[in-house]
Copies of this chain bind each other. A is one copy, B any other.
């Protein structure tokens, strides 16, 4: 890193690198907060994070970066495709960052902090009313941000685009409308022929042994523990990037499948992170496209791979080796049925991969209605419960189990929920595509060979970073635009034979 380097492109990379170091440091503060931070140390951490966020924003809007972008823009176009892509995308980021004033960023961050704590308290005490004023202000910030970014007329589109570049509410709505009918029909069939499992059989799986098995599985799938970790946290997540990938899960001795599939899910995110070009880590070519693509990776590994028979043909003996006593009375077919059981649940994160999407349709409806002004924040609990009954078929016992169940809105993450079902759609699309290209893929899984899938994802998804937007990338890899058809086909093929 030579300051004021002669090569304009090298100089741009240097400026981006500074912002990257601040962003990843901020990421570590957040990771530590969720994994390690003592309860009484939260005040210091929030001050540290606020300062690092400010410093990152300063780096992202600095005049040095602007000058570097201008100089690189004059010298690179046409000379090299990668460089031109970096300049183009970095300019978008720079412009986005400069449209937000430092005061706006600070006030929004401070509000989100308070709002998060208000949500956590409200969920604990089952009191939506105490959280509502915070959510109202959060919604105002979301609208203000859209205005500052030049999306005054389409604030919800802005937030969708922020999570999944190139998508908008109309596109999502059209996809979801095509999904909805057939999905409800399928869910009806499956729920009408429920799988009966004795849950008390899944009992007494010590956390330490679960952890050993999770490490074994995730390493076998291809996660590189030389530059990553698996820790424990209240809510599983994956943060960091290919230089230092931090995944978490949780271990409940009486719910070992939840822990394991959380770990596999986060491994999908982690493999994406580790597959992005390392030497572009600080540039947009080393960043993920967006949340739908990210979720497509986690869902593909968790569901298409991890819930499949070939996966369990390989891992069942090893699982039984780790838990000989606990699994003695659960034959393989019973285990497989437990892994793929569809049932009604008011909680999104506890839902199976069929009804999960209904939870997302509900949230998308409510977000649209909030941004359109068709409903007000204080009407959310009523609307949530109404939709939960009509769409999912289950009425939450209370707001903690209903409108307060998710963290997203407390942090202002509107437009994020659709990514989950878009990710499911894309995962299924990729799944059919990769099996066309590698017919023996699943035979390999049964022998413990997951490398061909990982390599295919590396070549087709990971290595591109943010070069293509969400829809472009899917079209490029699968030959089709994003579509619900593959998800529906996959769900029918996997779940109908099991529920008879």
B18 and A51 form a contact (CB under 8 A): yes
Q: Mark A195-230, 1 if CB is under 8 A from B, else 0.
A: 000000000000010000000000000001111110
- Interface residues in A31-74 (C-beta closer than 8 Å to B): 32, 36-41, 43-45, 47-48, 51-52, 55
Residue among A18, A28, A55 with most chain B CB within 10 A: A28
A17 to B48, CA, bound (A): 10
Known contacts A28-B29, A32-B28, A32-B32, A226 near B21 by CB under 8 Å: no
A24 and B39 form a contact (CB under 8 A): no
Q: Using Cβ atoms and an 8 Å threshold, which residues of chain B touch A48?
A: 21, 24-25, 28
A51 and B38 form a contact (CB under 8 A): no
In-complex Cβ contact of A41 among B43, B47, B227 (8 A)? B227
A25 to B45, CA, bound (A): 9
Counted per complex, copies of this chain come to 2
A301 to B18, CA, bound (A): 43
Q: Using Cβ atoms and an 8 Å threshold, which residues of chain B touch A458?
A: none
Whether A168 sits at the interface, judged by CB under 8 Å, is no
Shortest Cβ distance from residue A489 to the other chain B in the assembled complex, whole angstroms: 39
Contact residue range for chain A?
20 to 34
B37 and A244 form a contact (CB under 8 A): yes
Shortest Cβ distance from residue A158 to the other chain B in the assembled complex, whole angstroms: 30
Residue among A41, A43, A208, A225 with most chain B CB within 10 A: A41
Shortest Cβ distance from residue A29 to the other chain B in the assembled complex, whole angstroms: 7
Q: Mark A89-117, 1 if CB is under 8 A from B, else 0.
A: 00000000000000000000000000000
A244 and B44 form a contact (CB under 8 A): yes
Q: Using Cβ atoms and an 8 Å threshold, which residues of chain B touch A28?
A: 28-29, 32, 48
Measured CB to CB, the nearest residue on chain B to A51 is: B21
Known contacts A51-B18, A244-B45, A29 near B40 by CB under 8 Å: no
Whether A243 sits at the interface, judged by CB under 8 Å, is yes
B39 and A226 form a contact (CB under 8 A): yes
Whether A491 sits at the interface, judged by CB under 8 Å, is no
Whether A122 sits at the interface, judged by CB under 8 Å, is no
Whether A391 sits at the interface, judged by CB under 8 Å, is no
A25 and B21 form a contact (CB under 8 A): no
A48 to B240, CA, bound (A): 13
B47 and A21 form a contact (CB under 8 A): yes
A409 to B25, CA, bound (A): 28
Whether A339 sits at the interface, judged by CB under 8 Å, is no
- Interface residues in A406-453 (C-beta closer than 8 Å to B): none
A243 and B41 form a contact (CB under 8 A): yes
Whether A22 sits at the interface, judged by CB under 8 Å, is yes
Q: Using Cβ atoms and an 8 Å threshold, which residues of chain B touch A37?
A: 244
In-complex Cβ contact of A52 among B25, B44, B47, B243 (8 A)? B25
Q: Using Cβ atoms and an 8 Å threshold, which residues of chain B touch A224?
A: 40
Q: Using Cβ atoms and an 8 Å threshold, which residues of chain B touch A244?
A: 37-38, 41, 44-45
A208 to B207, CA, bound (A): 13
A462 to B243, CA, bound (A): 40
In-complex Cβ contact of A38 among B45, B55, B225 (8 A)? B225
A228 and B38 form a contact (CB under 8 A): yes
Residue among A38, A51, A55, A208 with most chain B CB within 10 A: A38
B229 and A44 form a contact (CB under 8 A): no
A21 to B45, CA, bound (A): 9
- A21-B47, A39-B227, A41-B243 given; name 13 further pairs at CB < 8 Å: A21-B48, A24-B48, A25-B51, A28-B29, A28-B48, A37-B244, A38-B225, A38-B226, A38-B227, A38-B244, A41-B228, A44-B243, A55-B55
Pull 23 A–B residue pairs with CB atoms less than 8 Å apart, ordered by A.
A18-B51, A21-B48, A21-B51, A24-B44, A24-B48, A25-B25, A25-B48, A25-B51, A28-B32, A28-B48, A36-B229, A38-B225, A38-B227, A38-B228, A40-B224, A40-B226, A40-B227, A41-B227, A41-B228, A41-B243, A41-B244, A43-B243, A44-B243
Chain A residues in the interface with B (C-beta under 8 A): 17-18, 21-22, 24-25, 28-29, 32, 36-41, 43-45, 47-48, 51-52, 55, 208, 224-229, 231, 243-244
